């Protein structure tokens, strides 16, 4: 039971890290999307 609790904790940590990574990727894409037209204008 104790090992299973540690495993579940690691899985939730992994999911949190994946969520943070997805947010950063989305932010990166948005920033890139906004900077792209600016590059075309200048």
Residue 33 has pLDDT above 80, yes or no: no
Total number of domains constituting the chain: 1
In angstroms, the CA 11 to CA 20 distance is 14
**pTM of the model as a whole:** 0.46
pLDDT (mean) for 18-37? 79
Q: How confident is the model at residue 4 (pLDDT cuts 50, 70, 90)?
A: confident
SS3 assignment, position 1: coil
């Amino acid at each position: 039971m104790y090992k299973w609790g540690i495993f579940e904790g690691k899985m939730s940590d992994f999911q949190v890290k994946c969520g943070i990574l997805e947010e950063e990727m989305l932010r990166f894409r948005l920033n890139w999307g906004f900077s792209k037209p600016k590059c075309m204008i200048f």
